Amino acid sequence: MSQSLEGKKVAFLVASEGVEQVELTEPWDALTSKHAVPSIVSTESGTVQAFNHLDKADVFDVDAVVESASSSDYDALVLPGGVANPDFLRMNPEAVAFARSFFDEGKPVAVICHGPWTLVEAGVVEGRTLTSWPSLRTDIVNAGGTWVDEEVVVCTAGPNTMVSSRNPDDLPAFCATLTEVLAKG
């Protein structure tokens, strides 16, 4: 029997442009299908511009601006990738602090593709095992993490559970694992 995530609030932290659309929409759909309440938290109000690799895709409404958002209002965090998205996020001190606060509070975090750049900047990968787009390997290792080339990795070292995947091909496993982790609480 499928477990409901009724009422679980999940923040999707994205920059105003550059998020990989499928890495936003597929986890979002997986969560809403289990009755969770996803929310886009961004660096600017209005809308965010998603991309299909390097081509503009759809725009999505922003639910909260990172400067006024609080991790205490959410049960978990999702960091989608895209090359530009996490690069913009890691240069925004409020976005980095918002991501770090989920670790401080021991809440689940799910990250895919280039998304770990934000976590490297937040200083939360040391002692953790995770995966990502292969070009982030050196950054993760230099930040004290262990990088592995696996479809999905669940790391429970540290104060919270972290789910990571490499790329859009891993989304089915990423989404299933994300919903399982949230269902466990």
* Series of mean pLDDT values for 10-residue runs along the chain (185 residues): 84 98 98 97 98 96 98 98 96 98 98 98 98 98 98 95 98 98 90
Q: Where are the domains of the chain?
A: 9-184
**Residues 127-145: b if buried by 16+ CB within 10 A, e if exposed:** ebbbbbbeebbebbeebeb
pTM: 0.97
Query: What per-residue confidence (pLDDT) applies to 1?
Result: 43
Q: How far apart are CA 51 and CA 146, in angstroms?
A: 29
User: Which tens digit of pLDDT belongs to each residue from 136-184?
Assistant: 999 999 999 999 999 999 999 988 999 999 999 999 999 999 999 999 9
CATH code linked to domain 9-184 = 3.40.50.880
Catalytic residues: 113-114
Angle 21-33/171-184 helices, nearest 10 degrees?
40
**Do 73 and 98 touch, CB atoms closer than 8 A?**
no
